[in-house]
Structure 1
């Protein structure tokens, strides 16, 4: 729960825009999807993601930001932590789908120099 008022669910995805973090297997490893506004209030939702990655074989991780409308500095810190976790296991992390203010936040912090940001078509 994010502490925000519920927002109408998107029928195509089953997600709402109040902010969600999902981790799911993909053909290349794991795909972490951020939806809506993801900020400090959601920090506890990252722990199951790190737990899943720690318990699995080393796998590449793609963070899909195409449905994210806002990220704050706590999310940037989590990206760095995630990158270190994935890299320490010999795998790679990329981000995809970052646009608008989300991409500006990533760029201003210099995270795009640490973690590759690729177009959706390349993931």
Structure 2
């Protein structure tokens, strides 16, 4: 199954969910995508949640909150959560917010 919204593409394949985010991850995008993502992660067969930040140019506090919520929901389902393609800007915002460990970025380095 695939679902799209401005700046987001959600793809599910069996027990895996891949959320590709792009552009500005702000309150508008989060308000649209959060209910969709929550339903998909809540499926009992979800075992893997990957969030691709490779095309993100901006993330605000609502975007950070969204990532934390996704991580927690995945944990409740005993699904593996991971962020991939985290650019330098996003990594810096996540680190400054003190969320690197919570979101699994502690000790990881990815290309800018």
Using the size of structure 1 for normalisation, the TM-score is 0.73
Aligned 1:24-39 pairs, distance under 5 A: 24-25=11-12, 29-39=16-26
Instruction: Give the count of matched residue pairs.
Output: 104
* Aligned residue in 1 for 2:103: 115
- In the TM superposition, structure 1's runs of 4+ consecutive aligned residues that sit over 6 Å from their partners are none
Secondary structure, counterpart of 1:113 in structure 2: coil
Secondary structure, counterpart of 1:65 in structure 2: strand
In the superposition, relative to structure 1, how do residues 24 and 91 fare at CA in structure 2: closer, same or farther (>3 Å)? same
> In 2, distance between residues paired with 1:96 and 1:119?
10
Task: Work out which of the two has the higher radius of gyration on C-alpha atoms and give 1 or 2.
Answer: 1
> In 2, distance between residues paired with 1:62 and 1:111?
17
Contiguous gaps of at least 5 residues in structure 1: 1-14
- Report which structure shows greater RCO (CA 8 Å, sep ≥6): 2
Using the size of structure 2 for normalisation, the TM-score is 0.79
1:85 to 52, 73, 79: 73
- The 8 Å contact of residues 71 and 103 in structure 2, kept in 1 or not, is answered as yes
Contiguous gaps of at least 5 residues in structure 2: none
Q: Which is strand-richer, 1 or 2?
A: 2
Note if 1:74 corresponds to 2:62: yes
